[in-house]
């Protein structure tokens, strides 16, 4: 019983983290047609920046907020000064983001060293919650709740605000959006910063579960890609559902068949691609 409860909570928490990571990736892809391969590195950068902020302000929530902002600023610079110079060059943009992710990864190794840095769970959430003889680690529930709040906020942003309407217009038809006077260029920067902020904040919120270590980027990026391939690019609902599928499959895979967890991860992806190449919630032409 305890095993199943813990693993379920772990799956939900990992799913929540993956949603923070992949929703930004999916939005950026949907709007800008850029497969942003720095996303894993931004997640790791967020975790490391958070570690440093925690030294001065020992509050995880503040660290997540500041870390997210810092990573958003970095993302904005990348978009403005590098991606902006390669309009229409799809392969070039992907490779540039890949190059930047190598630079970030090496920079983190120089600045924070090669040893994993554990991130302490906030004091108030350290004590396990005991219900009916089964103990729950509360931090994981909080991560899940946060992810759901972010998902709702993103949904409202996309469906109920002017900004969201402009983003949706850009995703559906870039040229038309430009023609009717939507500032698509500014939109690109906004969405890129938003995606980077979510990834960065996700990195530090994931700290108490995953800790910050070199290689975190390479571990997270494929999971995010699989989420997006499963859910369909440009779809928030897809990212949400995909995140929890991958969260469960990966967590239980690691727990039950540690050697082959990666292969098990691969099965739902093949299954979905075989029957719905554009992903569960992907739209035709997206």
Partner 1 sequence: MSRTSWIVLALALVAVPWVAGEFYVNLSSQILIAAIFAASLNLLVGYGGLPSLGHASYLGVAAYVSAWLSLKFGLGHWITAPAALAATTLMACVFGWVALRATGLGFLMITLALSQVLWGLGYRWVSVTNGDNGLSSLTRPAPFGISLESAMAFYYFALIVTVASIWLMSRLVASPFGASLRGTRDQARRMAALGHDVWRIRWLTFVYASFGGAVSGLLYVYYHKYIHPTSLSLTSSAEALLGVIAGGAGTLAGPIVGAGIVLVLKNYASAYIERWNMLLGFVFLAIILFMPDGVVPGLRRAWARLRGDKA
Applying CB under 8 A, which residues contact partner 1? 29, 33, 35, 37, 82, 85-86, 89-92, 94-96, 98-103, 105-107, 110, 218-219, 221-222, 225-226, 228-229, 233, 258-263, 265-266, 269-270, 273-274, 277
Nearer to partner 1, 176 or 260 (CB): 260
Q: CB 94 → partner 1: shortest distance, Å?
A: 6
Closest by CA to 192, choosing from 43, 77, 46, 49, is 77
What is the distance between the alpha carbons of residues 172 and 175, in angstroms, rounded to a whole number? 9
Q: CB 26 → partner 1: shortest distance, Å?
A: 11
What secondary structure letter does DSSP report for 235? -
Q: CB 225 → partner 1: shortest distance, Å?
A: 4
What is the distance between the alpha carbons of residues 65 and 266, in angstroms, rounded to a whole number? 33
Q: CB 24 → partner 1: shortest distance, Å?
A: 15
Where do we find the tokens 């299954």?
Answer: 271
Residue 43 token pair: 């997640």
Residue 158 token pair: 């996309």
Nearer to partner 1, 33 or 168 (CB): 33
Q: CB 80 → partner 1: shortest distance, Å?
A: 14
Where do we find the tokens 């217009």?
Answer: 169
Beta-carbon contacts of residue 78 (< 8 Å; ≥ 6 apart): 38, 97, 100, 192
Nearer to partner 1, 107 or 145 (CB): 107
Q: CB 38 → partner 1: shortest distance, Å?
A: 10
Neighbours of 258 (CB within 10 A): 9
Residue 27 token pair: 């939005």
Contact 197, 75 (CB under 8 A): yes
What is the distance between the alpha carbons of residues 148 and 68, in angstroms, rounded to a whole number? 17
- β-strand pairing of 134-136 with 129-131: antiparallel
Nearer to partner 1, 97 or 121 (CB): 97
β-bridge partners, 35: none
Q: CB 183 → partner 1: shortest distance, Å?
A: 25
Length of the chain: 286
């Amino acid at each position: 019983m305890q095993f199943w409860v813990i693993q379920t909570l772990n799956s939900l928490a990992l799913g929540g983290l993956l949603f923070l990571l992949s929703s930004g990736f999916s939005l950026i892809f949907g709007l800008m047609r850029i497969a942003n391969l720095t996303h894993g590195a931004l997640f790791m950068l967020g975790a490391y920046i958070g570690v440093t902020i925690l030294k001065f302000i020992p509050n995880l929530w503040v660290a997540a907020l500041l870390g997210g902002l810092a990573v958003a600023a970095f993302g904005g610079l990348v978009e403005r000064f590098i991606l902006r110079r390669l309009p229409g060059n799809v392969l070039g943009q992907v490779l540039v983001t890949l190059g930047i992710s190598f630079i970030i990864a090496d920079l983190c190794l120089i600045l924070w060293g090669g040893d994993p840095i554990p991130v302490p769970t906030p004091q108030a959430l350290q004590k396990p919650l005991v219900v009916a003889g089964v103990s729950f680690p509360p931090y994981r529930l909080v991560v899940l709740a946060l992810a759901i709040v972010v998902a709702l906020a993103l949904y409202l942003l996309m469906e109920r605000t002017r900004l969201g309407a402009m983003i949706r217009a850009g995703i559906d038809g870039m040229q038309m959006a430009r023609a009717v006077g939507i500032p698509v260029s500014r939109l690109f920067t906004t969405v890129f910063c938003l995606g980077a902020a979510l990834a960065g904040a996700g990195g530090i919120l994931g700290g108490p579960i995953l800790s910050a270590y070199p290689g975190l980027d390479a571990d997270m990026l494929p999971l995010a890609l699989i989420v997006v391939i499963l859910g369909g690019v440009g779809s928030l609902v897809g990212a949400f559902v995909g995140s929890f599928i991958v969260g469960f499959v990966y967590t239980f895979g690691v727990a039950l068949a540690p050697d082959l967890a990666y292969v098990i991860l691969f099965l739902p992806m093949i299954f979905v691609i075989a029957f719905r190449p554009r992903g569960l919630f992907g739209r035709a032409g997206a």
